[in-house]
Amino acid sequence: MSTEPLRCAGALVVDDESRIFFQRRSPDRRLFPNAWDIVGGHVEAGETVEEALRREVTEETGWTVSVVLGQVGEYTWTGDDGLTRIETDFLVRVDGDLSRPRLEAGRHTEFRWLTEDETTVLDEGRKVDDGLIRRIAEDGFAALRLIGL
């Protein structure tokens, strides 16, 4: 078993109202069950982080990344499974019907578009001391302000 951290790519999908897309993980998920999350997942063998980003957006929503607006940040975290991950997250725009994402059956149960003032909802279903997804969201909204969106 490798001791290297797993690489992950995450997408903060932005709409024309500068809201960010979040989806709720299924209660059956091993990591973060029933918690809100951004789109994303593990980088597969032979993939770059940006290739994984594009693949994950299509797999989890049915949308296609049209523009990568910029990198939000890089986060290192360890899941309940004991594995350390390095996650690189990006602000993106997508092509597709934003009112009708194709959520992955069995993996996600609902979605929401949130404004910066609504990020406290992201603490639902997470440990009180965690707060990672809200921190990523706050960094995403800060990055949106920096690029003037």
Distance CA 45, CA 80 (A): 23
Q: What is the pLDDT of residue 79?
A: 84
Q: Is the dihedral of CA 84, 59, 36, 126 positive or negative?
A: negative
Separation of alpha carbons 14 and 12, rounded Å: 6
Estimate to the nearest angstrom the gap between the alpha carbon of 106 and the chain centroid: 17
In the predicted structure, residue 131 carries a pLDDT above the cut 90 = no
Q: Report the top-level CATH class of 6-146.
A: alpha beta
pLDDT in tens, 78-115: 888 889 999 999 999 999 999 999 998 899 999 999 99
Residue 127 has pLDDT above 70, yes or no: no
pLDDT digits (tens, 9 = 90+) for 17-51: 999 999 999 999 988 899 999 999 999 999 999 99
**Domain ranges (residues) in the chain:** 6-146
- Token readout for 18 is 């500068």
